Each structure stands twice: as structure tokens, then as C-alpha cells.
A and B are shown apart, each in its own frame.
Chain A
Amino acid sequence: MLRDIWQTFLGFLHNFGAMCLFFMRLLQYSPSVIYKRFSLVAYQVYNAGALSIVIIMVCGLFVGGVLGLQAYSNLERFNAEDTTGIFAGFALIKEIGPVITALLFAGRAGTALASEIGLMKATDQLSAMEMMAVDPMRYVAVPRFLGGVISMPLLTAIFTTIGLLGSHLVAVELLGVDVGAYWQQLQNALDMEDVLEGIYKSIVFGIIASLLAVWEGYNSIPTAEGVGRATTRTVVITAIAVLIFDFMITAWVL
């Protein structure tokens, strides 16, 4: 029993170390890939980012709306419904925007990346590239990684903006909070540091989600079952990692 736990722990360390090395290689190749194969990176920004915009916008609108509702109904009890903007805005910019965008990204783009790379591996496309003297790390892994890293902050910005709009719709248009108070209160209370916290988080989450998706795909067992499992693992591990890092970053910033 103890030995099993020890073995699992060693296995985890082994994987974690391998992933760190993989991450270093991604970073090492990134400059040359941006320089020489920019079109591949641009295509992946489209693939991971642009194709996720619709889901991000729809979710942003409704999450913002819910925040507006919750904020209003609670603040109203203290006659503080004018501060609805502060509540919804802070929650969106600092926490919910980056976290939910990362989770949605893992579900939409992360799974697509992992299964795409896994299938390329299962059908020998990666080996074929190696035999054609083209390094699949540079041709497949790095552009996808960079595409995700670039997309995530942009998607987070879109999510947060639409979320603010959603809470505005609910609080101001539906529940009758004064429009001037809603935005003025938020503007007064919000510092650049708060916005930066959200931006830092979106960058870190972008790296985590893209790294895990590319890693899981690249190291999947090259069978139908293996690719399926890699896809599932991508979502699960990304979700856990994002929430843990969210806690750590928040604790560090505050």
C-alpha cells in the first residue's frame, strides 16, 4: 500500500519533470518559430482563439447577467444597489473572467489541440514529419502552444467586457440601478492593479492550458483509446491546475 503510494508519487514526479523539460523546449524554439513560421502561429491563433469567440461571448453575457442579479439582490438589502457595478466588475475582472475563460478554453480549444495532436501521432504523421527531416516540435507543438498563449488574454478581455455588458443589462436596464452610479462607482473603485491582476492571471492560465493540451496530445498513447483519454485528461488537469494557480496568484497579489 505504502509502496504503491510511493510509486505513484515517483511516477508523478517523473511526468512532471518530463513536462517541465518539454516546456523548456517549447520556450527555446518559440523565438525561431515566431520568426520563421509566423503564418503557422497566426493560423493557430485563429484555430484556438477566433473559433472560441462565440462560446466565450455567450458565456460572458450570461455570467455577467447572473453576477448583476446576485449583486443587486444582496446589495439591495443594505440599500447599496448603486454599488452593483463594483461588485460585478471586480468579480469579473479579477477572478471570474480569467478563470472561466480558461475553463472554457480548455473545453473548446484544449481538447481540440490534444485530440488533433494525438491523432497525428496515432496515424504516424509526426513520425512521417521526422522522417522528412521536419521537427514536429517546431512544426506542430510550438505553433499550437503559442496560438493558445496569445489567444487566452484576448479571449479573457472579450469575456470580461461582454460580462460587464451583461451585468449592466440586468442591473441597469432590467432592475433599474442608475446608469451613472453603476459605471461611476466601478470607475472610482477600480485601480490599474486590479486590472493587472486579471491580465497576469490570463497570461498564466494561457500558458498552463496550452502547455497541458499540447503535452497531453504529444504524449498520448497512439491508439483511439489513448487519444480519447488524453483529451479527457487535458480538461481535468487544466481545470485543477487553473484553480490551484488562481488561488496562489490571488494570495500572492493581495
Chain B
Amino acid sequence: MERSTNGVGKLPEKLIEVRDVSFSRGSRSIFSKLNLTIARGKVTAIMGPSGTGKTTLLQLITRQLDPGSGQVLVAGDDIADLSITELYKLRRRMGMLFQNGALLTDMSVFDNVAFPLREHTTLSQNLIRNVVLMKLHAVGLRGAAYMMPAELSGGMARRVALARAIVMDPGVLIYDEPFVGLDPISMGVIASLIRQLNSALGITSIVVSHDVKEIGEVADYSYVIADGQVAASGRPSDLKNERSDLVRQFMLGLADGPVAFHYDAPDYAEQLIGKGSD
């Protein structure tokens, strides 16, 4: 998973390939024969209504979960075949930004960002200090280095988590719902950071989100997932012209459509006058 600059590179185009993946939780099927590819050096968005398993897909890609059937290939290798040691080696080259940041609460911001370096490298304290300050500077929080995670706002915590995710200079960055619960300013900051990291470092980025507007600004390519399959894919501008009802409902944010406003229920009038089963 070597770095490649945008557009240039002899390395294969597809960095991650999800092939015929099926997955279910209990009796509920989440994915059935899902196929998608993540292009190297691009920002790929994975969108879809709540509960379609977007986060589950990330867990499959990083092998926090194993698929029921099908394959997940990273740089051509099926990750199911990796030993734990190999998997951990692969994960060192991946950064992941969790929904709520997932900072370690008993360490300062500085120590959080330094954590992967201290665990995986033998760099001197001095060098670690410089690297950490550089990464914090990149997300604009060098001044918060000695605060504790509990003192940070939601947007700041997510930026610190982003600094931690890039501290090992990963080839792939995975964002799980990076815009959820942020004010417009923080959203803009995160969106521009995603874009910058991608263009400056050539990092392959996967962004899971349902923020249609924000995603439109950062993504090179988008997948819309619904009912366990890819419902639509293309550049964000193309998706707006998609004819499928479901994709239209999602992209335009309509209250009613294929994803019904009403959860399954008995007939309204009959239930009110006491007929039918309660």
C-alpha cells in the first residue's frame, strides 16, 4: 500500500475491492452479494440511509468483522487469509477516524496522537514530539496539545482523532460519519481537511456519510447503498440526475418515497376504532 500521488503511478487502480460480500446479523441480512471498488488516491464516499450497514461495511473492509461469504481484497490480497500479525501490519498503514473520535480518555491530546508512534516505532522522544506537533499543527490544534479529551468540543475531538489517524502516515484513511453532530464551521473544517490530506499526501480516502451536501464537495466518486446492495454509483454530480426513486429520495432528502415515512403498521382507521389486532 505504498503512497502514490494523484493520477500518477504504476500501481493498480483498485486499492480495495469488495467482491460478492454477504453478511448478516442473526436472521437479518445486511449485505447480499455486495460489490464495490475503492480507487487508489481518490476520495470515495459511501452513502445510504441510516441502518443500511455503512459502518458494518467499514468493519468488513478493516476485518473487524468477517463476511459470511465473499472476499475483501486490499492491494490484491484477500484479508481473510492474513494472520493476526499480518493484519496488524496492514492496519498500521490504515488510519481510521471513528464517529465520536474514540480518543483514549486517560491520556492528553499529545499522548493520544503519540500513542501509535510509541507503540510501533523506536523513534526518540524528541522526534516523536516534533512529529506529533506537526500533525496537530496540520489539523490546527497544536495549541491544544496538553488538554485532556474531556475538555475538547466535538469538532476538536474529531480533529485530534484525525491527527492521530495520520500520525503513522497511512496509505488509506477511513472516515466513519465525519460530519455527524458538528456545527457548520467544524463541518467545513473537516471537509477541507479530508480534501487537503487527500491531495497533499495522496491518501486513499473512504468516507462514510449521509450528508449529501458535504459529501458532494469532497468526494471523487460515490456509492449509494440500500437494501444490502449498491443502489447507485458515480460522481456526486451524476447521482443527482439518477432516476431510481430511492436514490432520488435520498439525494433530495424527501420524507416519503421507497423508504416509507410510516413504519409497518396495521390500518390506521381500523386500529383507531378498535378493529383489527392490537
Report whether A133 and B92 are in contact in the complex, using a CB–CB cutoff of 8 Å: yes
Report whether B102 and A123 are in contact in the complex, using a CB–CB cutoff of 8 Å: yes
Q: Contacts A123-B102, A124-B99 known; A132 to B64 CB distance under 8 Å?
A: no
Report whether A125 and B104 are in contact in the complex, using a CB–CB cutoff of 8 Å: yes
Interface flags, A120-137, vs B, CB<8A=1, else 0: 100111011111111100
From B88, B102, B119, A128 is in contact (CB under 8 Å) with: B102
What's the dominant secondary structure at chain B's contact region?
Answer: mixed
Shortest Cβ gap from B123 to chain A (Å) = 16
Shortest Cβ gap from B118 to chain A (Å) = 10
Q: Contacts A125-B104, A127-B64 known; A133 to B88 CB distance under 8 Å?
A: yes
Bound form: Cα–Cα A127–B100 in Å: 12
Q: What are the residues of chain A within 8 A of B115 when measuring CB–CB?
A: 132, 134
Q: What are the residues of chain B within 8 A of A127 when measuring CB–CB?
A: 64, 98, 102
Q: What are the residues of chain A within 8 A of B116 when measuring CB–CB?
A: 132-134
Q: What are the residues of chain A within 8 A of B120 when measuring CB–CB?
A: 133
Report whether A128 and B96 are in contact in the complex, using a CB–CB cutoff of 8 Å: yes
| Total number of B residues with any Cβ neighbor in A under 8 Å | 22
Beta-carbon contacts under 8 Å, A57-75 to B: none
Bound form: Cα–Cα A97–B91 in Å: 48
Q: What are the residues of chain A within 8 A of B190 when measuring CB–CB?
A: none
Report whether B119 and A131 are in contact in the complex, using a CB–CB cutoff of 8 Å: no
Bound form: Cα–Cα A123–B101 in Å: 8
Shortest Cβ gap from B231 to chain A (Å) = 27
Bound form: Cα–Cα A134–B92 in Å: 9
Shortest Cβ gap from B178 to chain A (Å) = 14
Q: Which residue of A has the minimal Cβ distance to B98?
A: A124
Q: What are the residues of chain A within 8 A of B104 when measuring CB–CB?
A: 120, 125, 128-129
Q: What are the residues of chain B within 8 A of A132 when measuring CB–CB?
A: 91-92, 115-116, 119, 164
Report whether A131 and B100 are in contact in the complex, using a CB–CB cutoff of 8 Å: no
The 8 closest A-B pairs by CB, nearest first: A124-B102, A128-B102, A133-B88, A133-B91, A131-B96, A124-B98, A133-B92, A132-B116
Q: For the complex, is B199 an interface residue (Cβ under 8 Å from A)?
A: no
Report whether A123 and B105 are in contact in the complex, using a CB–CB cutoff of 8 Å: yes
Shortest Cβ gap from B109 to chain A (Å) = 15
Shortest Cβ gap from A113 to chain B (Å) = 13
Interface flags, A75-101, vs B, CB<8A=1, else 0: 000000000000000000000000000
Q: Which residue of B has the minimal Cβ distance to A128?
A: B102
Bound form: Cα–Cα A127–B98 in Å: 9
Q: Which residue of A has the minimal Cβ distance to B174?
A: A131
